[in-house]
Copies of this chain bind each other. A is one copy, B any other.
């Protein structure tokens, strides 16, 4: 099942921060990873991705630097900042709250996904 953009909207930032919390990475790689993890269901389009990087950098949640590897094309790496880690925690708590609420609203019960 392919996932509608609107359902992902507002989740781009948290996904990127969560990924960068594990290790520094660059746009092209992150994009491929997400596609793979989601079995092709979800893709952050390039325009969206780079817009998000700019936004996060402007907020001070991430920093960037150019890779020095001798690769086909230069890579711009992103690093999460301490402030970004704090923000990520807030966003995760917020997301969990939201997911529970939506589930309650649409199912009238508590969410028990992952038990399948």
Query: Which A positions have Cβ atoms within 8 angstroms of B?
Result: 1, 3-11, 14-15, 18-19, 22, 34, 37-38, 41-42, 92-108, 110-115
Contact = CB atoms under 8 A, between A and B. Distances in A.
Contacts of A41: 97, 101
A67 to B, nearest CB: 23
Nearest to A105: B15
A105 B37 contact: yes
A19 B107 CA distance: 9
Nearest to A6: B10
B3 A98 contact: yes
Given A7-B10, A15-B102, A1 B107 contact: no
